[in-house]
């Protein structure tokens, strides 16, 4: 994980596939891309096996573009739809077993700090709602209580979409699913509230309706985690298959849900605010 592992030896570039040459010559390494740049450079993730119209895929693409330093980043994930795309990206990916993503990320981050004391390495956990709030709950909470310096991104499609439609802790109360025919009994878990109680330094809830805001939020979370402490992003990424959302209606659903109950929210600790004010300060002209 450095730019040296991506660049081919002198004289070999021209013999590599065109896609790889494109990645080296027109990738995002060393640059800060904007959402409006999409389609004008070689993205870190392109081919993937996600369903047509999947909002989660759009969010994951934006997450990769938002990485402040992709050549010094590692993704950690687990079983679920998201890892099908995340593992295709040109960023090292560690597949944690169900339940241990945040434990894996904790050990990884600490090891990287010892191995590379002079180079900041960003660790990002990106997994589904079931993998984090149900099966991975213990590891998630303890990583927050320990103030581990990495970012956790929940791909909240409010269902176990990869296994046929079982309810998760993040499913909305009363929702009827293929594997929950009587409707969910309990309320949706307040993961944002749990993060706040645990003292997470940067917390955000977001829907992929505004690409620029999604990227800014992810960058903020990663930068705060790099220097200050744990960060958490909860992203609504609907499952158009399990919720029977027609493909042309996926983004309409995103806007509707954002308006009804998933509005953008940031909760930032005082020390994280101070840090962000400094790093986001515009240079004087």
Give yes or no for residue 234 having a pLDDT over 90: yes
Query: Which residues is 202 bridged to in the sheet?
Result: 231, 268
Kindly report, residue by residue over 42-97, the tens digit of the pLDDT. 999 878 889 888 999 999 999 999 999 999 999 999 998 999 999 999 999 999 88
Q: Distance (Å, rounded) from C-alpha 172 to C-alpha 167? A: 9
Q: Which residue segments constitute the domains of the chain, with CATH numbers given?
A: 10-280 (3.40.50.970)
Q: Which secondary structure element, helix H or strand E, spans residue 192, and what is its range?
A: helix 191-197
Comparing C-alpha atoms, which of 128, 110, 120 is closest to residue 224?
120
Helix (H, G, I), strand (E, B) or coil at 165: coil
Q: Cβ(232)–Cβ(151) under 8 Å?
A: yes
What is the CB-side half-sphere exposure of residue 42 using CA atoms within 13 A? 13
Q: Cβ(225)–Cβ(74) under 8 Å?
A: no
- Residue 179 sits at φ, ψ, to 5 deg, of -105, 15
According to the model, what pLDDT value does residue 1 have?
65
Any alpha helices (H) in the chain, and if so which ranges?
Answer: 18-26, 55-66, 81-86, 101-115, 129, 137-145, 191-197, 211-227, 250-260, 270-279
Kindly report, residue by residue over 192-233, the tens digit of the pLDDT. 999 999 999 999 999 999 999 999 999 999 999 999 999 999
Q: Cβ(184)–Cβ(198) under 8 Å?
A: no
Give yes or no for residue 7 having a pLDDT over 90: no
Helix (H, G, I), strand (E, B) or coil at 20: helix
Question: How is residue 47 written in tokens?
Answer: 């081919």
pTM: 0.95
Supply the Cα-derived Rg of the chain in whole angstroms: 19
Mean pLDDT for the chain overall: 93
Q: Distance (Å, rounded) from C-alpha 221 to C-alpha 232? A: 7
Q: In what order do the strands lie in the sheet with 202-206?
A: 93-95, 73-77, 122-128, 151-156, 231-236, 202-206, 265-268
Confidence of residue 285 (pLDDT cuts 50, 70, 90): low
Q: How far is CA 248 from the centre of its chain?
A: 24
Cα 224–Cα 191–Cα 88 angle in degrees, nearest 5: 65
Lowest mean pLDDT among 8-12, 35-39, 252-256, 258-262: 8-12
Q: Distance (Å, rounded) from C-alpha 111 to C-alpha 179? A: 41
Lowest mean pLDDT among 49-58, 114-123, 221-230, 257-266: 49-58
Name the residue with tokens 């709030």.
133
Query: Which residues is 95 bridged to in the sheet?
Result: 77
According to the model, what pLDDT value does residue 126 have?
97
> Strands 93-95, 73-77: parallel, antiparallel or unpaired by DSSP?
parallel
Question: How is residue 271 written in tokens?
Answer: 């020390």
């Amino acid at each position: 994980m450095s730019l040296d592992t991506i660049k081919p030896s002198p004289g070999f570039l021209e013999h590599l596939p065109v896609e790889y040459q494109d990645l080296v010559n027109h990738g995002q390494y060393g640059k800060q891309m904007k959402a409006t740049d999409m389609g004008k450079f070689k993205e870190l993730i392109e081919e993937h096996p996600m369903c047509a119209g999947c909002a989660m895929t759009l969010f994951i693409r934006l997450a990769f573009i938002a990485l402040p330093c992709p050549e010094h980043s590692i993704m950690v994930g687990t079983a679920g739809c998201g890892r099908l795309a995340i593992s295709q990206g040109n960023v090292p990916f560690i597949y944690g077993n169900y339940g241990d993503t945040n434990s894996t990320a904790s050990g990884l981050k600490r090891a990287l700090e010892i191995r590379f004391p002079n180079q900041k390495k960003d660790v990002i956990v990106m997994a589904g709602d079931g993998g984090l709030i149900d099966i991975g709950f213990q590891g998630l909470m303890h990583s927050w209580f320990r103030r581990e310096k990495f970012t956790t991104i929940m791909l909240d499609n409010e269902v176990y979409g990869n296994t046929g439609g079982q309810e998760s802790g993040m499913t909305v109360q009363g929702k009827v699913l293929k594997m929950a025919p009587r409707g969910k009994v309990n309320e949706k878990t307040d993961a944002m509230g749990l993060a706040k109680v645990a003292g997470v330094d940067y917390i955000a809830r977001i829907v992929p309706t505004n690409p620029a805001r999604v990227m800014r939020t992810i960058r903020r979370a990663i930068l705060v985690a790099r220097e200050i402490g744990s960060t958490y992003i909860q992203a609504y990424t609907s499952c158009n298959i399990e919720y029977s959302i027609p493909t042309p209606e996926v983004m309409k659903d995103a806007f509707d849900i954002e308006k009804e109950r998933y509005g953008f929210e940031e909760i930032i600790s005082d020390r994280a605010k101070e840090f962000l004010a400094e790093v986001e300060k515009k240079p004087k002209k």
